[in-house]
Amino acid sequence: MKLAYFFPLLAFVVPTVGIGFGLVIPRSCIAGFNDLTVGFALTVVSACATYWLGLRTVLREVSKMHHKSDDAREWRVRIIIQQEGQTVAPS
């Protein structure tokens, strides 16, 4: 897994945690360590776990597709038939 795969996750987590715990929660009625702040933190952690599991699943599927040696590669060929005489399409 490349570090670059986690940049979108960091772009979500850093502002969410910064705004949530830095601005919103301290100035609201739920300030402090309580069920609501723990719930918010677990929501962010769950989003990270979901992202990581999804990324792992996709990379596993892509890896399987590239390592299949049983399937023959698909070749696409364009066949052009040329006949002598009058052309079919006007030029």
Q: Place 86 in a pLDDT band, splitting at 50, 70 and 90.
A: low
8 domain residue, yes or no: no
- pLDDT tens sequence across 46-80: 999 999 999 999 988 888 776 665 555 666 777 77
Using alpha carbons, select from 90, 72, 88 the residue that is nearest to residue 80: 88
56 domain residue, yes or no: yes
pTM of the model: 0.66
| Cα dihedral sign, 36-41-45-48 | positive
72 domain residue, yes or no: no
Range of 43's domain? 33-67
Q: Is the pLDDT of residue 6 over 90?
A: yes
What letter would DSSP give residue 16?
Answer: H
62 domain residue, yes or no: yes
Longest pairwise C-alpha distance within the chain:
89
Length of the chain, please?
A: 91
Total structural domains within the chain: 1
79 domain residue, yes or no: no
28 domain residue, yes or no: no
13 domain residue, yes or no: no
47 domain residue, yes or no: yes
